[in-house]
Chains A and B, each alone.
Chain A
């Protein structure tokens, strides 16, 4: 087929722009399974959390492509298929399907699913009822947690960090809603700030003026709300004259670095975007952080989807872990582009908590069976929330540690 490259931005595209792809889905099943060369066991060979759990095809990336084709061609409508939204939203948008599909078929099942979600939202069918609360919170409070804006700066009370609303800074610490507002996550914010300040970074925050980056809204399919958030963020951040921003949340990282550029009619950002792990790795390479304390611990790294698979940040956290004295680092079986999702993303945790937690439990199971590690280390508030909940509920002895915690311990 003489397919012309579509020059539209991702968030300009609707389902019709994926017509060739959804017709051409080859049903290779790579959206459900780990890239063949990397499979190390039968037990951990699959990669789609939804298909792994539910075993029917609509839960896979391929299933989304087929359903999208049928909707596009009018083979059925919403009345004929009231179950459609549930299939579409039982997905963490981890992108494992798209990873392998791109590599194999050059098609985009994740983007198709997100376009399908956008269509469902636009047609009043989506999102799921619990998602609507999330959207309403963002609209009312600029965060999805229904927390007053002033709560955003509480974590920084005892830390001497610039308020960029009052004075300029070279580097903005974009904390992220979950890291700032979830009490179980705020230590990560404190550790991050302390590490960077100790390294002499000219660091500031927006405090209560930080807005939600819009990532959860984008994933759910409410493009209108997402675009508005994005515009506000871009305007606000561009006006600060920053050299760079560093964020703790892979969702924010991906949204600001990649997603904003795919929104039509918005200005480009005028600063570099880095995640905490990139920044810390850079500081270590530059000799601005030295480690003096041993941490005798066997750990494995969990690649957050938005950081790893979506953005290719694999080596930096591993470099950091290998630089920490006393740490014994082991890999689990599914890593990097083939990492098993924690279950926390894509709105799955909000609308399908059981599915999200079962997915996290499988990740924990993989760690235990394939590494012998004492701790899972990661650097993502969504991952840590979801995995943390399961560990707490089961009383598991396996630790879950944010990477910044280990760095602080070693300094």
Chain B
């Protein structure tokens, strides 16, 4: 337990005239600065350091105030007030990551929970326009009624809001066919940090409509995506829809619904796949065979999703943490596996064809299907994936303990082998937080196939104890080590959480190179007054000079450990 257990943690409030100005915009009901309320906006989901700062009784993690706008115009008014008074702000949806204050100046949280309407589903043009708080489940439910869907859900949860995923993530189990959220954005409307409204996509031209994602000319979507909430607030996003082969709703679990009395009974987690979809599980003896098979399947042009699940199955498909540990210890799930999701979009004969091809490839490469004849108990346990592969719901079981420090190296399939090696090195150097750190046993990562196998992401994670700040810091150290190691080995840490934020943007100048210099210029254009999560994605020179020394030391220590020079 941190020292000073009974030490209070009090937040700094906004100046009264600022508070009043904000209240005049949204009304009394939608602004609040009360102590117990701001508490609920401070410890985030997968950002381990927010837990540590709670242990450390760090008051700067608390927002000064929370405001709930109801429209783009209200967001704009709020942002303009922040510019006028120099008040930093951060946008907030679910609170997964990167939505706490970035410095010790009283900071406003703009929570978008009221903006939760699906504005329009254009079935003819296969696009859906959403407000900021609409999540994947809501979108899918509405789109499926019209024979469409959005192409996937993130492995985190179907509750992710598409607007915040624009800022940061958007990894789906069906990336094989549909790519990431990147590939599926038609337009955004955003309030820029300077308070102007920017529309990107064809809707920026009056009367054009909302169907085309680029230009005119240089495409600003590319600049705005991935800003970690520091380059404006997306208030509307239009996403692409795709033909959906299934029914209007997802099938029910045949065993019925649980109650609080029997919620952990696995029978409730055994749905069938959606109509016109099939899920196949394949086991391999080694990673080489796994990779080769995944590559062949990708290239064959079959399946909409193809992933090797690492430790995820032990979490997603286990109803308690005890089951997860037990299955990891006993290697219940195959170390090397993948699943393939087949969908009969063109016709039922498409599935027949794809099954045939899949079996051909697996047989040729020496994999084995899980079936009634081969590990039926494992196949049974994997049933949550039948629906999770389309509408991922069980993903947050990864956080049953605490999920931290994701590495997400990117590259061709072989990146999985490199990841496995580096991760093993890290575990051997620093020690595990939990048995599940070891991945799908044998330190195997999760492996997502993207865009027809063009490239892939491997993922490995730590699971520290949330009540133990030392363990969380150790897990964070893994993250920094991972970045350093991957950069040293020229493996793109593309999706790694921290590399999109400071101090890592500046402290890994190898990336770009000197990505921080370019990002500073971009920041100057979009956030001249430095109010939108200042220093989140990139420091100004001054912010870098004033950044905490211990943070720089920690990163430099890891840099030197892998043979990179320290950054001054």
Report whether chain A binds chain B: yes
**Footprint of B on A, CB under 8 Å?**
1, 3, 19-20, 23-30, 33-42, 45, 55-58, 60, 62-63, 66-67, 69-70, 73-77, 80-81, 83-84, 87, 95, 98-99, 102-106, 258, 308-315, 335-338
Nearest 6 CB-CB pairs, A to B?
A312-B259, A26-B399, A36-B393, A1-B465, A42-B138, A28-B396
CB 8 Å contact bits of B383-412 with A (1 = contact, 0 = none): 000010001111011011111000000000
A42 lies within 8 A of B142 (CB): yes
Q: Which residues of A contact B465 (CB under 8 A)?
A: 1
Question: Is B157 a contact of A29 with CB atoms below 8 Å?
Answer: yes
Inside 8 A of A35's CB, which chain B residues have their CB? 393
- Nearest-neighbour CB distance to chain A for B196, whole angstroms, equals 26
Q: Which of A37, A62, A312 contacts B271 (CB 8 A)?
A: A37
If A74-B6, A74-B8, A95-B260 touch, does A42 touch B118 (CB 8 Å cutoff)? yes
Q: Decide: A77 and B34 in contact? CB cutoff 8 A.
A: no
- How far does the Cβ of B99 sit from chain A's closest Cβ, in whole Å? 11
Cβ contacts under 8 Å, A45 to chain B: 135, 137-138, 141
Bound CA–CA A57/B39 (angstroms): 9
Could you say which residues of chain B place their CB within 8 Å of the CB of A338?
257
Q: How far is the CA of A283 from the CA of B549 in the complex (A)?
A: 75
Q: How many A-B residue pairs have CB under 8 A?
A: 211
B135 in contact with A104 (CB, 8 Å): no
Chain B residues, Cβ within 8 Å of A27: 43-45, 94-96
Pairs across A and B, CB under 8 Å, 10 listed: A27-B96, A36-B391, A37-B387, A56-B68, A57-B41, A67-B40, A76-B35, A84-B36, A87-B37, A337-B258
Nearest Cβ distance between residue B250 and chain A, in whole angstroms? 5
Partner among A23, A40, A60, A314 whose Cβ is within 8 Å of the Cβ of B141: A40
Q: How far is the CA of A56 from the CA of B33 in the complex (A)?
A: 11
- Closest beta carbon of chain B to A74's beta carbon, Å: 4
B-chain residues with CB within 8 Å of residue A76 when the two chains form the complex: 8-10, 35-36, 39
Contacts of B139 in A (CB 8 A): 42
CB distance from B343 to the nearest CB of A (A): 17
Query: In this assembly, does B159 line the interface, its C-beta being within 8 Å of a C-beta of chain A?
Result: yes
* B35 pairs with A73, CB closer than 8 A: no
Chain B residues, CB < 8 A from A81: 34-36
User: 1/0 per position for B24-44, CB-CB distance to A under 8 A?
Assistant: 000000101011110111111
- CB-CB under 8 A from A55, the residues of chain B are 30, 68, 111, 113-114
Check if B467 sits within 8 Å of A1, measured CB to CB: yes
Contact indicator A75/B258 (Cβ below 8 Å): no
Interface contact B249-A40, CB-CB below 8 Å: yes
* Residue numbers in A under 8 Å from B261 (CB-CB): 258, 310-312
Q: Provide the bound-state CA to CA distance between A25 and B7, in Å.
A: 22
Contact across chains for B257 and A336 when beta carbons are under 8 A apart = yes
B142 / chain A contacts, CB cutoff of 8 Å: 41-42
Interface size on B, as a range, is: 35 or more
B residues near A37, Cβ cutoff 8 Å: 250, 253, 271, 387, 391, 393
Chain B: which residue is nearest A73 at the CB level?
Answer: B5
Chain B residue numbers with a CB within 8 Å of A69 are 43, 54
Q: Which residue of B is nearest A64, CB measured?
A: B40
Q: A27-B44, A36-B393 are in contact. Are A75 and B8 (CB under 8 A)?
A: yes
Contact A75 B39 (CB under 8 A): yes
Instruction: Tell me if B396 and A105 are in contact (CB < 8 A).
Output: yes
B51 at the interface (CB under 8 A from A): yes
Pair A29/B159 contact, Cβ less than 8 Å: yes
Q: Which of A24, A56, A312 contacts B66 (CB 8 A)?
A: A56
| B394 close to A104 (CB less than 8 A) | yes
Residue of B with least CB distance to A72: B5
Q: Nearest-CB distance from A243 to chain B (Å)? A: 22
Q: Is the CB of A26 within 8 A of B135?
A: no
Contact for B400 among A57, A75, A105, CB less than 8 A: A105
Q: Is B400 a contact of A30 with CB atoms below 8 Å?
A: no
Question: B32: which A residues are within 8 A, CB to CB?
Answer: 56
Flag whether B264 is at the interface (Cβ < 8 A).
yes
Q: Are B95 and A24 in contact (CB under 8 A)?
A: no
B125: interface (CB < 8 Å): no
19 further A-B contacts with Cβ under 8 Å, apart from A20-B467, A95-B260, A106-B320, are A3-B321, A23-B467, A24-B400, A36-B157, A39-B391, A42-B141, A42-B142, A58-B39, A67-B36, A75-B8, A76-B8, A76-B10, A80-B8, A87-B36, A99-B259, A102-B263, A103-B264, A105-B400, A311-B259
B277 to chain A minimum Cβ distance, whole angstroms, is 14
Given A27-B94, A45-B141, A56-B66, answer yes or no on A105-B399 (Cβ-Cβ < 8 Å). yes
B68 touches A104 (CB 8 A): no
**A-contact bits for B207-232, CB 8 A (1 contact / 0 none):** 00000000000000000000000000
Contact assessment for A41 and B400 in the assembled complex, using a CB-CB cutoff below 8 Å: no
Note all chain A residues with C-beta closer than 8 A to B285: none
Set B140, B158, B387, B400: member contacting A26, Cβ < 8 A: B400
Measured CB to CB, the closest approach of chain B to A22, in angstroms, equals 9
Taken together as a complex, chains A and B put the C-alpha atoms of A29 and B136 apart, in Å, by 13
A99, B261: Cα distance in complex, Å: 9
Is B82 interfacial (CB-CB < 8 Å)?
A: no
Residue B134, interface by CB 8 Å: yes
Q: Does B319 contact A (CB under 8 A)?
A: yes
Q: Is B256 an interface residue (CB 8 A)?
A: yes
Q: Given A57-B40, A58-B36, A83-B36 in contact, is the A75-B9 Cβ separation under 8 Å?
A: yes
B467 contacts A19, C-beta separation under 8 Å: yes
State the Cβ distance, B490 to closest chain A Cβ, in Å: 34
Taking CB atoms, residues of chain B closer than 8 Å to A309 are 259-260
Give bound CA distance, A57 to B92, whole Å: 11
Of A63, A66, A84, most B-chain CB atoms within 10 Å: A66
B393 surroundings in chain A (CB, below 8 A):
35-37
Q: Mark B240-263, 1 if CB is under 8 A from A, else 0.
A: 000000000110110011111111
Measured between alpha carbons, how far is A57 from B319 in the docked complex, in Å?
Answer: 26
**When chains A and B are docked, how far (Å) is the Cα of A173 from the Cα of B401?**
45
Bound Cα distance A23, B55 (Å): 10
Q: Which residue in B113, B141, B257, B394 is a CB contact (below 8 Å) of A39?
A: B141
A70 touches B94 (CB 8 A): no
A70–B51 Cα distance when bound, in Å, is 12
Contact between B256 and A36 (Cβ–Cβ < 8 Å)? no
From A26, A36, A55, A309, name the one whose CB has the most chain B CB atoms within 10 angstroms. Answer: A36
| Contact residues of B between 469 and 493, Cβ < 8 Å to A | none
> Contact at A57–B263, with CB atoms within 8 Å?
no
* A334 to B: closest C-beta gap in Å: 11
Tell whether B466 is near chain A: CB-to-CB under 8 Å.
yes
Question: With a CB–CB cut-off of 8 A, which chain B residues contact A315?
Answer: 256
Most chain A CB neighbours (cut-off 10 Å) among B43, B117, B118: B43
Q: Which residues of chain B are near A66, meaning CB under 8 Å?
A: 39-40, 42-43
A77 touches B8 (CB 8 A): yes
Would you call B94 and A99 a contact (CB within 8 A)?
no
Alpha-carbon distance A20/B321, docked complex (angstroms): 13
B468 within 8 A of A: yes
Q: B552 in the interface, Cβ–Cβ < 8 Å?
A: no
Q: Flag whether B520 is at the interface (Cβ < 8 A).
A: no
Residues in A with CB closer than 8 Å to B111 are 55-57
Q: Do A83 and B159 form a contact, CB below 8 Å, given A26-B402, A314-B256?
A: no
Docked-complex contact A30 and B159, CB < 8 angstroms: yes
CB-contact partner of B159 in A19, A36, A56, A311, under 8 A: A36
Judge whether B57 is part of the interface by a CB distance below 8 angstroms: yes
Q: Which chain B residues border A314 with CB–CB below 8 Å?
A: 256-257, 259
Contact A56 B57 (CB under 8 A): no
* Set of chain A residues within 8 Å of B46, measured between Cβ atoms: 26
Closest A-chain residue to B9, C-beta based? Answer: A75
A63 to B36, CA, bound (A): 9
Contact with B321, one of A36, A38, A62, A106 (Cβ below 8 angstroms)? A106
Shortest beta-carbon distance, A299 to chain B, in Å? 20
- Contact between A1 and B468 (Cβ–Cβ < 8 Å)? yes
Q: Collect the chain B residues with CB atoms within 8 Å of residue A24's CB.
A: 399-402, 466-467
**A42: nearest chain-B partner, CB-CB:** B138
Q: In this complex, what residue of B is CB-closest to A62?
A: B40
Report the minimum CB–CB distance from A254 to chain B (whole Å).
10
Give the distance in Å from the alpha carbon of A75 to the alpha carbon of B7 in the complex.
Answer: 6
